[in-house]
Amino acid sequence: VTRSPVIGLLKGHTKPIIGLTASPSRPGQVLSLSKDNTMRLWDFWEEECLVMMEGGDVSAAEMTRDGDQVITGHKNGALKTWELPSMKSAGKRKRESTCQVVSALEGAKTIPFSESHDKPIDCIRHLSTGQLVTKSLDGRINIWDMDGKERVHALKVPGCPPTSEPSTFGVTTAGDYLAAGNQAGDVFVYHIGKDGSRVATCKPHQKVNGPVKAAAISADCRQVLSIIGAGFVCRHEYIPPQPVKEESNAASTEHENKPMIVVKEES
């Protein structure tokens, strides 16, 4: 087991952290979501809380690509936006101001999507394309056009009953492929940049069982990672088929023509 030194410690929450995301456009700013019913925006380098948002029933949170807003998912399936104060990372300069407090009543606005979730939201991702992807506990995934407030694609991950445990999904950097898991340990890959079709299914290792807690996919779509059950990490890798070499030996030809394994598993 490799141990690394702690280079920063952010203190303030009074209960376990259930969500953590970094600002894509404001280096050093991190958003945390806790079971204490608050969200906190931190300056990581200064180990300082910039804003505390009293979220109430927030179950998932994501910062927008420009870093100006926080998008939250709620236990009733609603989606809301929070405007963040205009501020930049303090860098090496220590701030003298205290943490600003924003309540849900004054800071949150419901997003008027035409169709939304009716179960608790457990994951949100704001894509580089500007689209928003949301998932609820029952495995329903919606891809939204943030400008028109309309749903572009609707997906359903198999094997996710309404009582499922929270499970986060992963998307490629370009926002064209998505990987999401279910309660049986399976991970599915969808082409959300095209028509939302399922393009791959990754089964868990035979010695690993349990629900998928989180899934991720590499930028080149060659590797899928998943955290299953009590902390097992599985990696699936796509290996392109190799061209069959022509040989005069019949036995060699028969061996070459056998089906090839294109998925490698590790746990």
Secondary structure (DSSP) of 101-170? EEEHHHHEEE---SS--SS-EEEEEE-TTS-EEEEETTSEEEEEETTTTEEEEEEE-TT--TTPPP-B-E
Q: Is 30:79 a contact under the CB 8 Å cutoff?
A: no
* pLDDT value of position 124: 97
Structure-model confidence comparison of residues 19 and 267, the more confident one:
19
Q: Tell me what pLDDT residue 67 has.
A: 87
Q: What per-residue confidence (pLDDT) applies to 87? A: 58
Q: Give me 85's structure tokens.
A: 């104060």
Judge whether 117 and 77 are in contact, CB under 8 Å: yes
Within 8 A by CB and 6+ apart from 105, the residues are none
Whose CA is closest to 198, among 177, 167, 227? 177
**0.75 surpassed by pTM:** yes
Mean pLDDT of all residues in the chain?
A: 85
Pure H helices in 188-259: 250-256
Residue with the bigger pLDDT between 124 and 255: it is 124
Mean pLDDT of 28-40: 93
